[in-house]
Structure 1
Amino acid sequence: MAVPKRKMSRSNTRHRRSAWKAEAPKLVKTVENGRTVYSLPHRARVVEDSQGNALFLEYKGRKVADA
């Protein structure tokens, strides 16, 4: 494991830590069956039946896994 050769000052430590910012996820808006749905791009989405039960996972219009 790497060990620093010298102590890092409190000011430098806090400045380095403050540079890391969390980003809000970028959602994609689509309309399905008259309903607006927001989803994450490049992620498999859950396909549900009319009662809201999960049926399977879909990616780019193809079934990729059972739910």
Structure 2
Amino acid sequence: MAGNPPKRKVSRSNTRSRRSQWKAAVPTLVKTVENGRVTYSLPHRAKVVEDSQGTALYLEYKGRKVADV
């Protein structure tokens, strides 16, 4: 079922001021130090575990393997 048609025209200034309220939020990063290397990651996200050559091995969350890459 389609929505109802608009009752009246919305002015250009009202449309633009409404759209201007949409802003991108800055992600909160968590700083971790592993083996003397500082990394920043998003909280509550699985991180990629790599071997010494930089090849992705698997995804890890809270110290547990959750998925293969």
TM-score, structure 1 as length reference:
0.92
* Residues 4-34 of structure 1: CA deviation (Å, up to 9, x unaligned): 2211111110110000101121111000010
Give the distance between the partners of 1:28 and 1:63, measured in 2 at CA: 20
Shift of 1:43: 0.7
TM-score, structure 2 as length reference:
0.89
**Does residue 14 of structure 1 match 2:16?**
yes
Give every structure 1 segment of 4 or more consecutive aligned residues whose post-TM-superposition deviation is greater than 2 Å: 1-4
Give the distance between the partners of 2:21 and 2:43, measured in 1 at CA: 26
1:49 to 25, 48, 51: 51
Q: Which residue does the alignment assign to 1:27?
A: 29
Name structure 1 gaps, 5 residues minimum.
none
Give the distance between the partners of 1:5 and 1:42, measured in 2 at CA: 44
Give the distance between the partners of 1:24 and 1:46, measured in 2 at CA: 22
Name structure 2 gaps, 5 residues minimum.
none
Identity of aligned residues (%): 78
1:38 to 30, 37, 40: 40
